[in-house]
Chains A and B, each alone.
Chain A
């Protein structure tokens, strides 16, 4: 029979707390150092791609930052090269576009991106670039209007199309001197069904926590989880991932006009966390959490916690997540360290390795309740760290507030 674990002495507890605090501050230091290293890394040099984009040109002349004129052997301008940048799934994606003198796209190359390699290869392997070639600045150049999208890689496809449009319109107007309809340049906020669904789910989660009587909370939670899986997972394919957190840390915030969903997701969760102190996303909305709970209900999975190894599991996961974020920071690539398995499930697409990884997690979900969330997912690690930082920031704020309270108390007592 195993011996019962002795409770920690107050001295041991204080030492443990000091050690954990020290490690948390070291983590912050490491993240700052990696961020600085990544920021100072070299950027793309466009001149390396000019011949590839305009093979017929005899010479090139740089006219400004990332704009190049292409000339024939008699020194007559035959077109230009310009760039456009938009945020894809993993961060900024830069496209270089070769245009002829009529403002028609001759060639396109993605010169810089931070997408997950497997998704990016899928887009580049498709005929998207071929579909964009031959389009003029007068065309709408819009997904699902005159360009067909690519299933399962909406953000990357949209970023390529939007960046090509931006480069085409700007170069046609500023370098080639054509009149561009201002309506084409104007941006409009895209607020549709995904954004409305996400907002509704977040509001319902707060209502589920505070306004619903306790006896109905379980039903409410299941309704929210199933809606989350159906909408955020299988329909819109955008649950919260490490990529979103990396983008937030690195400042690669997407275009508010066409990706307002990202802002609602990130700032909605942060706002709920700051006002209620609860992580409602993981418990109520996370689509993969819902899928695991459905699988667990079939296999009658139980909550499994190993008292003996829990600390080892905890700290190993924290170390791996820290390494993953450091890697993304050093390479300035939010998508590089993403390891979540749910993309494969919700898009119903993935490599053999990704399908194996997903099946492995779901097989264990039959016996263990939410195995991914409890042992592998990076989001709870971020949540623990956010709690630590929030607590540390709150202490000086409260110290600052205290003298005010005392002075108001003195005034009250004097008045009385």
Chain B
């Protein structure tokens, strides 16, 4: 049960951070282009 909870959290965090990084990089590239 606990492992399951950790798995949900880890997947949310990793995917979320990847999306955050893509958003920041996207904004950065379109600003300097």
Q: Which residues of A contact B (CB under 8 A)?
A: 2, 116-118, 304, 306, 308-309, 313, 316-317, 320, 323-324, 327, 331, 333, 335-339, 353-354, 356-357, 360-361, 364, 367-368, 371, 375-376
Q: Which of B2, B15, B28 has the most CB of A within 10 A?
A: B28
Q: Are B6 and A360 in contact (CB under 8 A)?
A: no
On whether A306 and B6 interact (CB within 8 A), knowing A320-B21, A331-B32, A337-B27, the answer reads: yes
Main secondary structure of the interface of A (DSSP, over half): helix
- Chain B residues near A367 (CB, 8 Å)? 8
A376 to B23 CA separation, bound complex (whole angstroms): 13
What mask results when residues 1 to 33 of chain B are scored 1 for a CB within 8 Å of chain A, else 0?
010011011101101110111111011101110
Given B6, B15, B23, B31, which contacts A339 in the complex, CB threshold below 8 Å? B23
Q: Are B24 and A339 in contact (CB under 8 A)?
A: yes
Chain A residue at smallest Cβ distance from B8: A367
A371 to B12 CA separation, bound complex (whole angstroms): 8
> Could you list 27 A-B pairs, sorted by A, with CB under 8 Å?
A118-B30, A304-B9, A306-B6, A306-B9, A309-B6, A309-B9, A309-B13, A313-B9, A316-B13, A317-B17, A320-B17, A323-B24, A324-B24, A333-B31, A336-B31, A337-B28, A339-B24, A353-B22, A353-B23, A353-B26, A357-B19, A357-B23, A360-B15, A368-B8, A368-B9, A376-B17, A376-B20
For the complex formed, measure the closest distance between the CB of B11 and the CB atoms of chain A, giving whole angstroms.
9
Q: Which residues of B contact A (CB under 8 A)?
A: 2, 5-6, 8-10, 12-13, 15-17, 19-24, 26-28, 30-32
- Chain B residues near A337 (CB, 8 Å)? 24, 27-28
For the complex formed, measure the closest distance between the CB of A124 and the CB atoms of chain B, giving whole angstroms.
13
Q: Which 9 A-B pairs have the closest CB atoms?
A: A117-B30, A339-B23, A364-B12, A357-B19, A306-B6, A376-B16, A339-B20, A306-B9, A336-B31
